[in-house]
Every structure is written in C-alpha cells, then in structure tokens.
Structure 1
Amino acid sequence: MQRRGLVEREECETDRRGAAFRLTSAGRSAIVRAAPNHVEAVRRLVFDALSPDQVTQLACLTGSLLDHLHDSLRSGRATAPTPD
C-alpha cells in the first residue's frame, strides 16, 4: 500500500519497534471507491447468513470486545508483547 501511494509510514513516537501509517488522499479515494462493493460483500457473505437474533448477539459480542480493548488502552495494558 505504501508503494502504491495509499499510505505513508511514520516512526511511532511511543514505541521505537513500531510504525504508524497515515492514509494519503489517494488512499482515501481508494477507500471511497471500494466501499460500496465492500459493504455489499459483507452484507451478502456475513449478515445474510445470520438471523436477526444472531445479528443482535454479534453486536453484543463485538461491543464487549471493543469496550475491553478501550479499557485496556486507557489503562496501558494493551501493549505489544516484549520479545523473550
């Protein structure tokens, strides 16, 4: 994606082992072009296979996971593992 000009790589300010990526205007344009087909594919391949109750369950599960991730980030527990 970097070679295609869709993202730019930057050094991570908080972790020298990592890197941060920023979306370029060309990258944003690519996302805008891809979004309708992506949404249709997710609907067809995922949501069409689920009942309304299963979609509700999926929303609850992903909501719980996101809450846990946000809590971990806020508390500083969500860090990359250190090599042994």
Structure 2
Amino acid sequence: MEIDRTRAMWPQIAAVVIQRIKDGTYPPGSKVPSIVEIAAEFGVVNSTAQRAMEAVRAEELTRSEKGMGTFVLTEKERGGA
C-alpha cells in the first residue's frame, strides 16, 4: 500500500498493519513491530505510530503485554473455537 503524505498518516499506517494481520504477514500469536519500529518504517514520529496502533487495537486484532510488546490475537483470544 502506498502512503499518501498529503493525508493523515495514522489511519493509513493502521490500515497497513491491519492488512498485514489479515494477510498473515503478522500471523496469530506473533509479535508486531514496536512503536519505534513502525515510526521508523513509515518515517513518522512515535506519537503517530502510537495512534495507528491504538486504532489497530480498537479493531480487537492485537493485545499488549507490559514489557513484552504487542501481539496478534489468536482465534481463541478473539472468541473463536
């Protein structure tokens, strides 16, 4: 996905991360890149990356563990069988 720098960045970054979760780039149970790593990848400040990851979390696709990182939810964690 091409990032359009004339529009707000955080929703675009969130969309990329969500797509990576859905297409299996970040499979269930895997750790997603840190805020710092996402900020570096997209050339944005940490607060923009943080806002993007909050949007991903709001979609109930990830969980954060203090001191460990952010992980993609498994089907079981999402309420699946």
* Larger helix share, 1 or 2: 1
Greater length-normalized contact order (CA 8 Å, ≥ 6 residues apart): 2
The answer to whether the superposition gives a TM-score over 0.5 is no
Q: Which of the five TM-score ranges fits, normalised by the shorter chain? A: under 0.3
